[in-house]
Structure 1
Amino acid sequence: MGRRGPRIPDFDLDFGVDFSFDHTLSFDFDRERTRHRVVALVVSLVVGLFVTWLAVDLFAFHSVNDDEGVYLTQAAMLLEGKVFLYPGALADAVRPWFFVVEETTSAPGGVQMYSKYSPVVPALFALGLAVGLPNLVLGAVAAANAALVYTLTADVFDRETGVVAAALLVLSPLFLLTSATFLAYAPATMLNLAFAVCYVRAARRDSSGYAVVAGALVGLAFFARPYTAVLFALPFIAHSLWALASAWQAGTGWPVFRRYVAIALPGLAFVGLTLAYNAVVTGDALTFPYIAFAPLDGIGFGRRAILGYDIMFTPAVGVETSIEALRLLVTRWGPMGWLGTVAAVVGVGLTAQRWWRHQTGRSLRGRDRRRYHGLGGRERAFSELSDDALAAILLGIFVSVFVGNAFFWGTHNGLRNGLIDLLGPFYHFDALVPLAAFGAAGILGFARVLRRLAHRRFSASEARGVVFSVLLVSALVAGGVTLDAASDPYEENHLRTENLAATYEPIIEAGFEDPPLTPSVPAVGAGGANDGDDETKALVFHPDPYGDWSAHPFQTLRNDPGFDGPVVYAIDDGPEQDFTVLDATNRTPYRFTYRGTWTGAVDPVEPELTRLEVLSGDRVDATTTLGTPDGSNTVSVRVEAGGEYARYDVPMGETRTVEWDITSDGVRVTNYPRAAGPDRVPIPAGASEATLLVTYVGDFGETVTYRQTVSVERRGDDVRVLWPPETRVCRLTTDCGTEGEWVGPDGEYLPGVSVETNATATA
């Protein structure tokens, strides 16, 4: 729509002097429109490029919100035309984070998995995966959001305000950090904004075409994130009902009714598509996948639960959570932090003043007067959706987002688990739109009043200097406030990225994937998980500090949808599962582990990738040579298997070599006399573990225990052993977690600690 001049009123300053003047344009209207559009395009591109840079640099291994891996896995599935994963025997070892597991006889292997999320946003990410540049999609979405904010703000105010609103997005930590992640919030806002822009054009141009597109977009937004779309659409629904009632009273109800039907029908069609998708994946049209995953993870108050965590979500908790989210948004995470909020409040005040002037007829000139009284042909459309009505809708979005999210416990979870501290109140991402629009209105209103006052008190050249100086100081203050708001989350995310980079370093150096740690483009004719030619491919067992989930927390270690890529990542969860995975994949096995406690990449760990070998025969002979920790006086050796143990007498020395063997009859130490227990500690049939423990004791009773655990499978008279064993060096206990993991001679251990081990199998 054309915007000939500014439609933000200046402050109503009554100094007894008439401040009003006509803005005579020195160039034609088309040139001004083109100039603003070019500037808006440049701003949008800058926003997109900056977000792309953040995605590549700050989130090189993704954020610690592991939902990113869910969306990217689903995107890779869509590229292969899959809604379900069919892991077969691998199901327990490769279940991705936030995927529902369903046993069904109709699925290959009897098991199928599906994501708790809708496929709309993954389909968008799939476009980037298809060309090997997924981060460009994030930049494109950010640029589109900036362009749409410009367009919508220009419809409410003017193009100049639209440009400033788009630029304000790059000053919002919430917009930048959330847009740079593979999450659904920014894409959902893009769909909502596109709907809003088309809705405005449908109303103001009386266009059925725009109405149909608007309906399709809001329906697609509903398919992507139903509750988010409903909250965004509520102010538009309220306006449409008001417009219909007004049109019926004026006797023009049928044309308006037909237009809103044109919006409603495509929207309802996508609602039907959403329900059809539900029916396909969950078996019930009214059961959304996220409800199938966690039945108590929904909207409303009462008991809410997901994955073992539950609370009684009361209205008081909902209100308290929403107030905290509001505080975070308006003080730190919105455009320019608290200063942007002040500007937005000023913008709302100026908009209210404009509305009052329109109601009273003050300060309206010809074109504006016709527009706001519905006179003069095409301008009549503005009586249905005036600038003031659209401003009210924009303000309504802000209210709807916060009131609506008070009924959803997701923000409470985000505050509890620290994700909002790192990425901002992302459930309220849509609230950035009114903040940016009204903030831009407040900034330009301030600038115009400043210009008028300067020209009143100074000469033209002096006035320009005064205006420039004040605006420069204001920009510096705004920049300082923005940097202060963004610095903490940026540094915290950067810290985690550095630690993730160090964690993944052994896998990157191994070069399993080309390029490493990226979703591979589906290959034509790729074999299945059981193809014989997979011996040249890798199988990487990885730890599961957050439970039995793949890609959680190591979401960069994602499997291809067919589990047939260059590497399969499997959870290291005991001998039975390990041997099942080995037999199902027929790949070269590795063990990925780390020394330290996993703290969500807050603290660094020492990673290690170890090539494994399956030793098979009637006996496996092993040798373990261990260094004596400084200050040790005595040593004991013990083997355990199947709930039984044997202990051996061992003399002290600088190093200690233990020879032990494993057969179908059991495990024993062969080079030291037995002090207690059976001659051979029996091994149960099937898969189990055998453990060698060598404990050193110091002067004051302090202990250091070397603990080596191997996965063993007994098959008749033969055994299979996964070698080398997992080795841990434990202080003051004989059994410890990853904080005692042996990660090779370069790790940080007590003085004197060393480990060497080897084994051979005999037929």
Structure 2
Amino acid sequence: MGPPAEGRSRSLGTVPRVSRSSDPGAGAVSAPDEPSDRIGKASADQIGTVVPDRLIVTPEPLPRRLWRRCQAVSTAGRYVAVLALASATVAVLLRHNLFPYLSVNNDEVIYLLHARTLADGHLFPSAPDPAASYAPWLAAISGDHFVLKYTPFVPGLFALGLMLTGSVSPVLAVIAAAAVIVTYLLGVELAGERRVAALAATLLAFSPLAIVQSALVLSYLPVLVLMELTFLGLLRGLRAGGLRAGGPSDGGRRSARRGGRALAGAGLAVGVAVAVRPYDVVLLLGPVAVWGIVTARRSGRLGWALRWTAAGLVLPAAILLASNAAATGSPFRLPFALLESDDKLGFGVRRLYPSDGGHDFGLGDGLASVGDHLWLLGGWACGGVVLAVAAIVAAARRRLNGPGYALGVGTVLFVVGYIGFWGAWNAAELWGGIRYVGPFYLMPVLIGLVHLGARGLVDLAGWSRRRAARAVTGVCAAGVVGLTTFVLVGAIDANATMTDHDRDLAAMLRALPGRSLVLVAASPPYLGHPSGVTTNGADLDGADGDGPLLFAVSRGVADLEVVADHPDRTPYLLRMPPAYNRSPGSVTRSRVDALTVATGRTVGVEVSVDAPPRGTRAAQLVFEAGGVRLTYPVSANGPVTARLTLDADGLDTDDVTEVVIYGGGETRGSPAGVATGRPAGRAKITKVPGAGTSVTVSLLATPASGGRARTVDRQVIPVLAEDPSGADAGGTEPGDVAVLAPSAHVDETGQGPRPAVRIALS
């Protein structure tokens, strides 16, 4: 379109809307959606005989403009809008009703704590002394603060919701709706058909994996949205700015600017996605990036495309480098590996945290873990297997374009690449939580499944004119609906059961009188694991925000320091089983005891030990402190009691007395016991690595099926010895000891047997 003709009114040619309320014929001058160049063609009769010196410009009211745009939306677009609203509603409902105490994926604790910290105006949560006693799940200690495991982009998104509304629920709703809408928009660009795009959005929205993850404070669904936005921006940018036919005209320049903005948006989205989950982005979008580079080069616009994309990358790259420098001291080191350097890609010995026993991760383990994830994805993706087959058929029939094939290659590469990622093996084999919150590591695979599968399904619908084809289509549809419903209902039921466990635990803790200090004895030694109930706020002001509960990790002698730092709080010990909420049927019996600090030259405690689990061939009662281990053989089918005297001169056989075994079984050749109990045999004394005066009491059991002895339960008694220089002048007498031990049983809740080892002050 060239410049306006000389005879046209120049002022009218630039006015988008013209209204003359005093002119009866004004309605004929400008329709609401009439192009501005047509206004310039109005005749003098239409405008009036007198040309006014000044035209009155009245912008269209916003409600009318929005209503007009809504009317212009296609039927498929309206359907997707309703679907997005439904997805957002479901996300909020699940968040408040199914996951009010967070899910079994304790990484939610990290993201939520990080979001609260950012919302409070801080980069990192504070870490008062002793810092390890207040460490959140997988947090590293750096000076006076904790460094959390992940970059601040996704937590920053949730922090925005906290600052604006006081809740993360609106952010979850926006992410869920965005996932549906962006999937539809990408489908329109990718397939060129609205019905294919709408089907892809529907498949994503009804996938149990997307439904469950939409209610969790995690990064998997946000990164899916970011990767789709990257792909969408790339397609729109290359389409709008990749043709040189526009030339130097105004239309060509506008198209180039639109394309540049789309590519900048793609750069922004991929920059954030790389900062959050770099491995996922490289695997899935690597082939897409190669296709984009080749396409831009063929059109002669490669430099232009790279400049615009790089412009979008600047902001996330700057934030990432700055946050890395603040967290790790190096702009090029992510906080992910700050806690444990062996938590990385590749095969070998892997650990999640420093005290984690090394796990030998090999190729067979990687294949098994990916197989488990794919098996679950068959049901957690709406129409998983059917979508995969439909996508393969569509690719074989050459029904995909270049971007579609690039997406397919990226999807396959993603699955293959995860064979070398030990985190997927940990989630599938060691932890097993993917059975209840879905195979979340394969969330990006949904992008390829729903888009390419939707293309194949629409083609299949076109073939279904014959009766046999319609029957096959109906059977497949019924199978997809049935399997999706089965998986979703099962996931909701399992998570509801585990949420009930957390609800009972929270109710027991909230029932504690006054201001309480709860020392959590759980393995591994972090707060927020295995339950998000045991989590402090960012400022250590208690779990509920108003300060009635303050949690700390039970770590032995450091517990005495924690108790001394909070004289206004009543100390309690919370004991949780290591397998708490590992499954709906796992042992969750948790116990709360009141703690008392006892001092003196000697402090006596009573030790009670329940019978080991059934199927035990032999059992041992073990006392360990300061590098000394005392091992007593006990009955495999009866309880044990003992008296332990704690003093400052370390652990020896004289400190353990009155070890009485109850039960009728033989233990290591000892004679059968009687109903009233019998004394245990002599202790086996061994030297082990260790130091300090705190005593660990453990029950070990050897299975009848063979194998090594395993720890059934253990409890640590914090003991602090007084400096002997404060004793008599000769310094030959030991000083006093301070012992933190349970003085009364308060409450317990959960299912399964109670903790086997119990300690009480004499």
Please say whether Structure 1 and Structure 2 have the same fold, judged by a TM-score greater than 0.5.
yes
Q: 1:607 aligns with which of 570, 587, 590?
A: 590
Give the equivalent residue in structure 2 for 1:142: 176
- Matched-pair contact (CA < 8 Å) for 1:709–1:725: no
Secondary structure at 1:48's aligned position in 2?
helix
Give the Cα separation in 1 of the matches to 2:282 and 2:695: 57
Q: What residue identity is the alignment partner of 1:257? A: G
Secondary structure at 1:568's aligned position in 2?
strand
Secondary structure at 2:572's aligned position in 1?
strand
Q: What residue identity is the alignment partner of 1:112? A: H
Q: What aligned pairs does 1:449-464 form with structure 2 within 5 A after superposition?
A: 449-450=463-464, 452-453=465-466
1:376-432 deviation per Cα after TM superposition (whole angstroms, max 9, x unaligned) = xxxxxxxxxxxx122223223312322332332222222222123333332221110
1:319-378 deviation per Cα after TM superposition (whole angstroms, max 9, x unaligned) = 55444433442x3232224334334444445xx4446xxxxxxxxxxxxxxxxxxxxxxx
- Matched-pair contact (CA < 8 Å) for 1:44–1:144: yes
- Matched-pair contact (CA < 8 Å) for 1:59–1:180: yes
CA 1:479–1:548 in structure 2 vs 1: closer, same or farther (change >3 Å)?
same
Secondary structure at 1:414's aligned position in 2?
helix
Give the equivalent residue in structure 1 for 2:625: none
Give the equivalent residue in structure 2 for 1:495: 497
Secondary structure at 2:142's aligned position in 1?
strand
Give the Cα separation in 2 of the matches to 1:277 and 1:81: 14
CA 1:485–1:690 in structure 2 vs 1: closer, same or farther (change >3 Å)?
closer
Give the Cα separation in 1 of the matches to 2:384 and 2:214: 17
**1:227 matches 2:279:** yes
**1:573 matches 2:575:** no
Q: What residue identity is the alignment partner of 1:589? A: T
Give the Cα separation in 2 of the matches to 1:230 and 1:277: 21
Q: What residue identity is the alignment partner of 2:588? A: V
- Matched-pair contact (CA < 8 Å) for 2:92–2:169: yes
Q: What residue identity is the alignment partner of 1:571? A: V
Q: 2:263 aligns with which of 182, 199, 211?
A: 211
- Matched-pair contact (CA < 8 Å) for 1:595–1:741: no
CA 1:625–1:320 in structure 2 vs 1: closer, same or farther (change >3 Å)?
closer
Give the equivalent residue in structure 1 for 2:206: 171
- Matched-pair contact (CA < 8 Å) for 1:297–1:306: yes
Give the Cα separation in 1 of the matches to 2:606 and 2:419: 60
Give the equivalent residue in structure 1 for 2:337: 291
Give the equivalent residue in structure 1 for 2:159: 126
Q: 2:521 aligns with which of 524, 529, 543?
A: 543
CA 1:101–1:52 in structure 2 vs 1: closer, same or farther (change >3 Å)?
same
Give the equivalent residue in structure 2 for 1:243: 295
1:702-761 deviation per Cα after TM superposition (whole angstroms, max 9, x unaligned) = xxxxx99686776979986657526699xxxxxx9933448xxxxxxxxxxxx9x99xxx
1:522-569 deviation per Cα after TM superposition (whole angstroms, max 9, x unaligned) = xxxxxxxxxxxxxx743221112x222121213232122222341321
Give the Cα separation in 2 of the matches to 1:123 and 1:88: 24
CA 1:719–1:637 in structure 2 vs 1: closer, same or farther (change >3 Å)?
closer
Q: 1:187 aligns with which of 209, 222, 230?
A: 222
**1:270 matches 2:316:** yes
**Seq. identity, %:** 25
Answer with 607-616 or 46-55: which moved more.
Answer: 607-616
CA 1:314–1:244 in structure 2 vs 1: closer, same or farther (change >3 Å)?
farther
Aligned residue pairs: how many?
578
Give the equivalent residue in structure 2 for 1:81: 121
- Matched-pair contact (CA < 8 Å) for 1:99–1:114: yes
Q: What residue identity is the alignment partner of 1:738? A: P
Give the Cα separation in 2 of the matches to 1:483 and 1:615: 57
Q: What aligned pairs does 1:396-545 form with structure 2 within 5 A after superposition?
A: 396-417=409-430, 418-450=432-464, 452-453=465-466, 475-510=477-512, 537-544=515-522
**1:552 matches 2:529:** yes
**Superposition deviation, residue 31 in structure 1:** 6.0
Give the Cα separation in 1 of the matches to 2:175 and 2:478: 29
TM-score norm. by structure 2 comes to 0.66
CA 1:648–1:48 in structure 2 vs 1: closer, same or farther (change >3 Å)?
closer
Give the Cα separation in 1 of the matches to 2:359 and 2:371: 19
Give the Cα separation in 2 of the matches to 1:435 and 1:51: 22
- Matched-pair contact (CA < 8 Å) for 2:594–2:743: no
Q: 1:53 aligns with which of 80, 93, 109?
A: 93
**1:96 matches 2:96:** no
Secondary structure at 1:406's aligned position in 2?
helix
- Matched-pair contact (CA < 8 Å) for 1:709–1:726: no
The gaps in structure 1 that reach 5 residues or longer are 1-27, 104-110, 248-252, 356-387, 458-465, 512-535, 651-686, 693-706, 730-735, 743-754, 759-763
- Matched-pair contact (CA < 8 Å) for 1:337–1:482: no
Give the Cα separation in 2 of the matches to 1:633 and 1:390: 68
Q: What aligned pairs does 1:604-683 form with structure 2 within 5 A after superposition?
A: 604-610=587-593, 612=595, 639-642=645-648, 643=651, 645=654
Give the Cα separation in 2 of the matches to 1:633 and 1:178: 45
**Superposition deviation, residue 506 in structure 1:** 0.5
Q: What residue identity is the alignment partner of 1:85? A: P
The gaps in structure 2 that reach 5 residues or longer are 1-67, 242-258, 612-637, 660-691, 698-714, 728-735, 748-752
Answer with 304-313 or 708-717: which moved more.
Answer: 708-717
**Superposition deviation, residue 283 in structure 1:** 1.5
**Superposition deviation, residue 499 in structure 1:** 2.4
Give the Cα separation in 2 of the matches to 1:288 and 1:625: 46
**1:332 matches 2:379:** yes
CA 1:318–1:624 in structure 2 vs 1: closer, same or farther (change >3 Å)?
closer
CA 1:436–1:587 in structure 2 vs 1: closer, same or farther (change >3 Å)?
farther
CA 1:53–1:30 in structure 2 vs 1: closer, same or farther (change >3 Å)?
closer
Secondary structure at 2:518's aligned position in 1?
strand
Give the Cα separation in 1 of the matches to 2:516 and 2:286: 51
Q: What residue identity is the alignment partner of 1:288? A: L
Q: What residue identity is the alignment partner of 1:115? A: L
- Matched-pair contact (CA < 8 Å) for 2:694–2:717: yes
**Superposition deviation, residue 241 in structure 1:** 1.9
- Matched-pair contact (CA < 8 Å) for 1:347–1:442: yes
Secondary structure at 2:519's aligned position in 1?
strand
Give the equivalent residue in structure 2 for 1:702: none
CA 1:636–1:569 in structure 2 vs 1: closer, same or farther (change >3 Å)?
closer
TM-score norm. by structure 1 comes to 0.66
Give the equivalent residue in structure 2 for 1:582: 563
- Matched-pair contact (CA < 8 Å) for 2:285–2:407: no
Give the equivalent residue in structure 2 for 1:526: none
Give the equivalent residue in structure 2 for 1:156: 190
Give the Cα separation in 2 of the matches to 1:492 and 1:548: 26
Give the Cα separation in 1 of the matches to 2:198 and 2:262: 23
Q: What aligned pairs does 1:688-727 form with structure 2 within 5 A after superposition?
A: 724-725=742-743
Secondary structure at 1:570's aligned position in 2?
strand
1:96-143 deviation per Cα after TM superposition (whole angstroms, max 9, x unaligned) = 11111234xxxxxxx432012111111122233333332342232122
Q: What residue identity is the alignment partner of 2:505? A: T
CA 1:604–1:504 in structure 2 vs 1: closer, same or farther (change >3 Å)?
farther
CA 1:215–1:180 in structure 2 vs 1: closer, same or farther (change >3 Å)?
same
Secondary structure at 1:578's aligned position in 2?
helix
The root-mean-square deviation of aligned C-alpha atoms, in Å, is: 4.4
Q: What aligned pairs does 1:304-453 form with structure 2 within 5 A after superposition?
A: 304-307=350-353, 308-311=356-359, 313-314=361-362, 317-319=365-367, 321-329=369-377, 331-349=378-396, 352-354=397-399, 388-417=401-430, 418-450=432-464, 452-453=465-466
Give the equivalent residue in structure 2 for 1:373: none
Secondary structure at 1:299's aligned position in 2?
coil
Give the Cα separation in 2 of the matches to 1:615 and 1:427: 49
